[in-house]
């Protein structure tokens, strides 16, 4: 036994009480916590405070064993709620510390029966007794060879006034040589806030004591539990690093076959955790506090107002504040610390207990939370609680009210999951929601829309009316065309008037209160607010398709503004895409690239992966890069959406391809061709042509025209005459009287060797008498005219065409027509450097883009006979027919063909024709 004081009144203190606890083996070393304890500034009081199971004692014991000469330790228990016992333990611990000289205690006075006064803390200790205890400690430590750390563990056990005042006296009068460490499950009743402001407090709390993923993995390894890294992370996430929870999970996992299933159910169902929570935490709390925690456990996070609403207790915020300060079981968060969160393991246990004992109360609490969250602007949480309330009517009401906003935010998967749980199926809102999701997902079975609307009552409640308006608008935008869409735009006025016209049509959640009826009207108004940006956007698309681009741009910008204000990321992204379309149609490709990039970023921010939206955004980005003369960048831009589009349609799906799929394939194929990857290019070009030819989507005329121009050029360049002819036939209907059709016809004439006819065909496009849909195609026409003039040896006409091409490139920022021009055009461009005046930078940029493309500089030297054979290869004549035309034997033709393949580095007739044409070896004749 160790004594604490002298004389007859000495109090025997058990040795175990003042011994540093033994660190068990195996043990998880936590050097970061040791370093944190050492980080205390001189003179600071250290407080280690956390609920049960956070490893406070073991952490301090590990820290103490590293400095055995300078640590005094006291482990308090309930028996120390006596002033004499308290001081006896403290003095005995100091007496046993090697750093304190033994002679200090030789003449120590006896401890009186009541060493600490019952008066207020102004005196703290009876004046005649202060020299007997506190000064004795001060004097003893003054002679110490080094600073002494006094660890008072489980200080929460001290609850009686007399020892608490003794503790306050020790804290207040602690000498500089004393590092006082107070450790417990709750904060000691001292003026900690004042000390914190004064910089006198060093704190180690539950957030510091949590296990990291690495520490949890070591615990599991020591328990011989084999788990994956993702399972360790899940365990740490569920327990929030609570060391006791991790250790109990490790013990249980040793006997479980399915670790994934165990970890998913661990918090609520593990008996060891439940017993620990009850015995160590809940049994120590008053019954009314436990009831409050049980009620608020239905919410992962809540405000003080919601806590009061759930519990019916106006003092609920104050109770939660007190629990945070005393136990760390509750954590406050957010600006002003107005939100609260109960520790997840405790929350899960309380919720499971509520589910077992009072399922009716649990359902009622979820309904209360749903009603509270909806007007508070937290629709996702309102929907989640409504789903758990066991009230199908409430769930469907919230679902219908939030559906339009959820679609606008890209929460299609969440909406679909809730729709599967909603009912009854006969409710017209279920049909409308199903149809809306079908249209959003590009489902061709839009016939279900009309039956859904047919079941609607004549008097439409606000949520149903708004859903119907959005559905009709989206369906018209998908399959109805601009005229139908403009008719549907009238729904805007109907939707906006519904809340005022039907203030009581859709009853409030609680029919007995006027307040809830008003709340229902407000929520319907919110739904209209969410619907208007989507309707405006569809209206803008209709105006664009009708040719009113100026008004379309104005309406689209308004839709963008309102979508951003309402937090509808997907609608905002779609508005940006429509504005990008309009920029492309106007020939502003800088703006096209910027807007498409912003749209892609907006979609990424929502996490929404609609194939239609993503393919559209990345196709436009790719097109801007391609036309800018950067084919490698174009491939990078379209790559994120390529998984949604194969070479001839949507990958692995039976649904139609996204509307922008032909454009993406055309961009990808053309970029591959520009980079010399002919095999990869051909499949994409064929797919683009096939999809464009059967595209049912209205409003895609401009981009389908772009597809026609790109694919036809690729087909001609690679010698695919059948594909070129098919595209030209389709373009006569799709492109109509636009100038791009003249460009395609001129290419065909040039391909057939009719250069003069080709030059003449381009006239209407070049002089502006025939309008174009894609402004950059005028530059394409001028480059082709330059080539045709050079072939005819009309140098002046060629230079004039080249200068006009430079002017078009400067106006549209589309450099590709010059970057991929034939060698003779590039040569003319180079020879003219220094004489282009203000267009000089444009010429330099075009040549830089040309130089960045793969080059085939080695001259191809063909004999006259090889050149004659090569000219007949595009005609698809057989070897026998070529031999007859040239009056040579078939073996001679085969020899020439093999020589041609070797010199061009190709393996097929088609590749030979394409490479020879691209490198200017021959001119092709039909």
Q: What is the mean pLDDT of residues 832-853?
A: 89
Q: What is the mean pLDDT of residues 242-264?
A: 74
| Dihedral sign from CA coordinates of 235, 240, 246, 249 | negative
- Beta strand 2-3 with 12-13 is antiparallel
**Partners of residue 732 on adjacent β-strands:** none
Q: Which residue has the higher pLDDT, 919 or 120?
A: 919
**3-class DSSP state for residue 200?**
coil
**3-class DSSP state for residue 754?**
coil
Residue-wise pLDDT tens digits, 644-701: 886 444 444 445 678 889 999 999 999 998 888 877 788 898 888 888 887 755 455 7
Contact 149, 103 (CB under 8 A): no
* pLDDT above 60 for 752: yes
| Dihedral sign from CA coordinates of 347, 349, 351, 357 | negative
The predicted structure's pLDDT at residue 8: 37
User: Could you tell me if residue 412 is inside a domain?
Assistant: yes
The predicted structure's pLDDT at residue 311: 93
Rounded distance between C-alpha atoms, residue 217 and residue 28, angstroms? 10
pLDDT-based confidence at residue 860 (cuts at 50, 70, 90): low
- The answer to whether the predicted template modeling score (pTM) of the entire model surpasses 0.85 is no
Query: What 8-state DSSP symbol labels residue 639?
Result: G
φ, ψ at 148 (rounded to 5°)? -115, 135
Average pLDDT of the residues of the chain? 78
φ, ψ at 8 (rounded to 5°)? -70, -20
| Dihedral sign from CA coordinates of 237, 243, 245, 246 | positive
**3-class DSSP state for residue 614?**
helix
C-alpha distances out from residue 81 to 9, 160, 362, 413, 719, Å:
18, 5, 41, 59, 98
**Partners of residue 340 on adjacent β-strands:** 302, 332
Q: What is the mean pLDDT of residues 92-111?
A: 72
Rounded distance between C-alpha atoms, residue 775 and residue 771, angstroms? 9
Rounded distance between C-alpha atoms, residue 526 and residue 546, angstroms? 31
pLDDT-based confidence at residue 48 (cuts at 50, 70, 90): very high
Q: Which residue has the higher pLDDT, 825 or 925?
A: 825
* pLDDT above 70 for 186: yes
* Of the residues 192, 209, 226, the one at which a domain ends: 209
Q: What letters, b where the CB count within 10 A reaches 16 and e where it falls short, cover 356-385? A: eeeeeebbbbbbbbbbbbbeeebbebbbbb
Q: How many CA atoms, within 13 angstroms, populate the side-chain half-sphere of residue 340?
A: 27
DSSP symbols for 441-458:
TT-S-GGGHHHHHHTS-S
The residue behind tokens 């006997």 is 255
The predicted structure's pLDDT at residue 899: 80
What's the CATH number where 199 sits?
Answer: 3.40.50.300
Query: What 8-state DSSP symbol labels residue 210?
Result: S
User: Could you tell me if residue 783 is inside a domain?
Assistant: no
* Of the residues 549, 575, 601, the one at which a domain ends: 575
User: Could you tell me if residue 753 is inside a domain?
Assistant: no
What's the CATH number where 913 sits?
Answer: 1.10.10.10
Rounded distance between C-alpha atoms, residue 202 and residue 200, angstroms? 7
Strongest mean pLDDT among 10-24, 118-132, 497-511, 595-609? 595-609
The predicted structure's pLDDT at residue 667: 95
- Estimate the crossing angle of helix 701-717 against helix 777-791, to 10 degrees: 30
**3-class DSSP state for residue 349?**
helix
Residue-wise pLDDT tens digits, 757-776: 999 999 988 988 898 888 88
The predicted structure's pLDDT at residue 635: 93
The predicted structure's pLDDT at residue 901: 81
Contacts of 385-389 with C-beta under 8 Å, sequence gap 24+, read 385/298, 385/299, 387/418, 387/421, 388/298, 388/362, 388/363, 389/363, 389/364
What the block records as the tokens of 885 is 């035309």
Contacts of 284-289 with C-beta under 8 Å, sequence gap 24+, read 289/319, 289/323
pLDDT-based confidence at residue 313 (cuts at 50, 70, 90): very high
DSSP symbols for 838-866:
GGHHHHHHHHHHHHHS----SPP---HHH
* pLDDT above 50 for 505: no
* pLDDT above 50 for 129: no
* pLDDT above 90 for 714: no
* Of the residues 190, 209, 228, the one at which a domain ends: 209
Rounded distance between C-alpha atoms, residue 877 and residue 138, angstroms? 112
* pLDDT above 80 for 811: yes
* pLDDT above 80 for 836: yes
pLDDT-based confidence at residue 104 (cuts at 50, 70, 90): low
Rounded distance between C-alpha atoms, residue 41 and residue 39, angstroms? 6
Q: Left (φ > 0), alpha (ψ -120 to 50) or beta: where does 7 sit? A: left
User: Could you tell me if residue 841 is inside a domain?
Assistant: no
| DSSP H helices in 202-284 | 206-209, 213-222, 229-239, 243-253, 259-269, 271-280
Name the least confident of 39-53, 97-111, 739-753. Answer: 97-111
State the DSSP H helix or E strand holding residue 203, giving kind and residue range, or none if neither.
strand 201-205
The predicted structure's pLDDT at residue 174: 85
The predicted structure's pLDDT at residue 607: 78
* pLDDT above 60 for 5: no
Name the least confident of 99-113, 131-145, 494-508, 715-729. Answer: 494-508
Nearest by Cα to 585 from 538, 553, 625? 553
Rounded distance between C-alpha atoms, residue 90 and residue 806, angstroms? 92
Residues 6+ apart with CB under 8 A from 801: 766, 782, 783, 785, 786, 789
Residues 6+ apart with CB under 8 A from 674: 626, 631, 816, 820, 853
* pLDDT above 80 for 326: no
The predicted structure's pLDDT at residue 633: 93
Rounded distance between C-alpha atoms, residue 215 and residue 157, angstroms? 29
C-alpha distances out from residue 270 to 264, 352, 522, 735, 873, Å:
11, 11, 44, 69, 78
Rounded distance between C-alpha atoms, residue 61 and residue 445, angstroms? 70
User: Could you tell me if residue 97 is inside a domain?
Assistant: yes
Residues 6+ apart with CB under 8 A from 237: none
Q: Which residue has the higher pLDDT, 409 or 118?
A: 409
The predicted structure's pLDDT at residue 863: 72
Contact 445, 438 (CB under 8 A): yes
The predicted structure's pLDDT at residue 715: 85
Nearest by Cα to 683 from 708, 717, 649? 649
State the DSSP H helix or E strand holding residue 331, giving kind and residue range, or none if neither.
strand 330-333
User: Could you tell me if residue 462 is inside a domain?
Assistant: yes
User: Could you tell me if residue 286 is inside a domain?
Assistant: no
The predicted structure's pLDDT at residue 123: 36
Q: What is the mean pLDDT of residues 606-628?
A: 88
CB-count exposure of residue 797 (10 Å: 0-12, 13-18, 19+): middle
Q: What is the mean pLDDT of residues 527-532?
A: 71
Rounded distance between C-alpha atoms, residue 790 and residue 779, angstroms? 17
* pLDDT above 90 for 917: no
| DSSP H helices in 66-159 | 83-95, 130-142
- Beta strand 45-49 with 178-184 is parallel
Contact 488, 473 (CB under 8 A): yes
Rounded distance between C-alpha atoms, residue 782 and residue 806, angstroms? 9
Name the least confident of 351-365, 536-550, 853-867. Answer: 853-867
The predicted structure's pLDDT at residue 923: 52
The predicted structure's pLDDT at residue 839: 92
Name the least confident of 249-258, 270-279, 281-290. Answer: 270-279
User: Could you tell me if residue 348 is inside a domain?
Assistant: no
Length of the chain: 926
Contact 716, 699 (CB under 8 A): no
Q: Which residue has the higher pLDDT, 141 or 29?
A: 29
Rounded distance between C-alpha atoms, residue 416 and residue 443, angstroms? 14
Nearest by Cα to 373 from 339, 346, 332? 339
Helix, strand, coil abundance in the chain, percent, nearest 5: 65, 5, 30
Domain that holds residue 511: 391-575
Give the total number of structural domains in the chain.
3
Give the start-end residues of each E strand in 334-466: 339-342
pLDDT-based confidence at residue 487 (cuts at 50, 70, 90): very low
What the block records as the tokens of 439 is 């249209």
Name the least confident of 70-74, 122-126, 469-473, 823-827. Answer: 122-126
């Amino acid at each position: 036994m160790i004594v604490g004081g002298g004389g007859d009144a000495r109090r025997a203190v058990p040795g175990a009480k003042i011994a540093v606890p033994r660190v068990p083996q195996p043990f998880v070393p936590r050097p970061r916590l040791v370093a944190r304890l050492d980080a205390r500034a001189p003179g600071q009081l250290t407080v280690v405070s956390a609920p049960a199971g956070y490893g406070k004692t073991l952490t301090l014991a590990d820290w103490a064993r590293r400095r055995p000469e300078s640590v005094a330790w006291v482990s308090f228990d309930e028996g120390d709620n006596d002033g004499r016992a308290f001081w006896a333990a403290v003095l005995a611990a100091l007496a046993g510390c090697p750093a304190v000289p033994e002679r200090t205690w030789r003449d120590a006075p006896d401890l009186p029966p009541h060493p600490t006064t019952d008066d207020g803390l102004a005196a703290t200790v009876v004046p005649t007794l202060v020299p007997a205890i506190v000064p004795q400690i001060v004097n003893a430590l003054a002679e110490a060879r080094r600073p002494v750390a006094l660890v008072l563990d489980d200080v929460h056990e001290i609850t009686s006034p007399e020892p608490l005042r003794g503790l306050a006296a020790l804290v207040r009068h602690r000498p500089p040589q004393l590092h006082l460490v107070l450790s417990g499950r709750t904060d000691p009743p001292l003026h900690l806030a004042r000390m914190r402001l004064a910089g006198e407090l060093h704190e180690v709390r539950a957030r510091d004591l949590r296990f990291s993923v690495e520490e949890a993995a070591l615990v599991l390894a020591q328990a011989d539990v084999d788990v994956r890294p993702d399972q360790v992370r899940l365990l740490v996430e569920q327990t929030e690093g609570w060391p006791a929870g991790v250790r109990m999970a490790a013990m249980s996992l040793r006997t479980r076959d399915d670790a994934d299933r165990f970890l998913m159910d661990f918090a609520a169902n593990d008996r060891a955790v439940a017993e620990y929570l009850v015995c160590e935490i809940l049994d120590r709390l008053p019954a009314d506090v436990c009831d409050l925690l049980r009620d608020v456990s239905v919410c992962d996070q809540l405000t003080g107002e919601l806590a009061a609403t759930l519990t019916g207790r106006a003092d609920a915020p104050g109770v939660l504040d007190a629990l945070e300060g005393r136990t760390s079981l509750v954590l406050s968060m957010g600006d002003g610390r107005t939100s609260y969160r109960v520790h997840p393991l405790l929350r899960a246990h309380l919720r499971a207990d509520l589910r077992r004992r009072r399922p009716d109360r649990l359902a009622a609490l979820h309904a209360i939370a749903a009603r509270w969250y909806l007007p508070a602007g937290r629709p996702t949480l309102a929907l989640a609680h409504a789903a758990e309330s066991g009230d199908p009517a409430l769930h469907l009401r919230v679902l219908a009210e939030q559906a339009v906003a959820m679609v606008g935010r890209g929460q299609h998967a969440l909406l679909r999951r809730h729709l599967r749980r909603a009912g009854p199926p006969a409710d017209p809102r279920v049909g409308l929601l199903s149809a809306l999701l079908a249209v959003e997902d590009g489902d061709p079975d839009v016939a279900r829309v009309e039956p859904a609307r047919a079941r609607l009552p004549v008097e439409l409640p606000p949520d149903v009316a708004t859903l119907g308006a959005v559905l009709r608008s989206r369906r018209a935008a998908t399959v109805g065309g601009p005229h139908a869409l403009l008719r549907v735009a009238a729904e805007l006025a109907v939707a906006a008037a519904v809340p005022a016209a039907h203030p009581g049509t859709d009853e409030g959640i609680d029919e007995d209160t006027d307040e809830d009826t008003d709340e229902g009207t407000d929520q319907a108004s919110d739904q209209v607010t969410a619907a208007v940006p989507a309707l405006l956007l569809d209206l803008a698309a209709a105006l664009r398709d009708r040719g009113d681009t100026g008004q379309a741009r104005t309406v689209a910008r308004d839709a963008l503004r309102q979508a951003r204000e309402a937090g509808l990321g997907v609608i905002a992204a779609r508005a940006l895409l429509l504005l990008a379309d309009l920029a492309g149609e106007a020939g502003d490709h800088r703006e096209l690239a910027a807007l498409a990039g912003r749209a892609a970023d907006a979609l990424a921010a929502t996490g929404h992966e609609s194939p239609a939206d993503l393919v559209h955004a990345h196709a436009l980005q790719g097109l801007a890069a391609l036309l800018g003369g950067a084919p490698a960048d174009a491939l990078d831009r379209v790559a994120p959406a390529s998984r949604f589009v194969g070479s001839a349609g949507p990958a692995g799906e039976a649904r139609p391809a996204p509307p922008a799929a032909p454009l993406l394939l055309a961009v990808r194929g053309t970029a591959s061709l520009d980079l010399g990857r002919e095999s990869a290019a051909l499949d994409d070009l064929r797919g683009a042509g096939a999809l464009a030819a059967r595209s049912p989507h209205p409003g895609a005329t401009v981009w389908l025209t772009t597809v026609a121009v790109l694919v036809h050029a690729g087909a001609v360049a690679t010698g695919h005459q059948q594909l070129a002819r098919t595209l030209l036939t389709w373009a006569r209907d799709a492109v109509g009287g636009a100038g791009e059709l003249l460009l395609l016809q001129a290419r065909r004439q040039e391909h057939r060797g009719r250069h003069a006819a080709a030059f003449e065909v381009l006239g209407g496009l070049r002089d502006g008498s025939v309008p174009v849909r894609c402004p950059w195609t005028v530059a394409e026409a001028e480059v082709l005219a330059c080539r045709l003039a050079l072939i005819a040896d009309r140098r002046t006409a060629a230079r004039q065409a080249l200068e006009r091409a430079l002017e078009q490139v400067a106006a549209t920022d589309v450099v590709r027509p010059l970057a991929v021009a034939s060698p003779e055009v590039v040569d003319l461009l180079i020879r003219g450097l220094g004489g282009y005046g203000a267009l000089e930078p444009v010429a330099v940029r075009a040549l830089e883009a040309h130089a960045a493309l793969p080059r085939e500089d080695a001259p191809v030297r063909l004999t006259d006979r090889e050149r004659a054979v090569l000219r007949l290869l595009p005609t698809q004549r057989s070897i026998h027919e070529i031999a007859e035309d040239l009056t040579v034997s078939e073996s001679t033709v085969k020899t020439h063909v093999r020589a041609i393949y070797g010199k061009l580095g190709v393996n097929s007739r088609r590749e030979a024709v394409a490479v020879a044409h691209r490198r200017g070896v021959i001119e092709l004749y039909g």
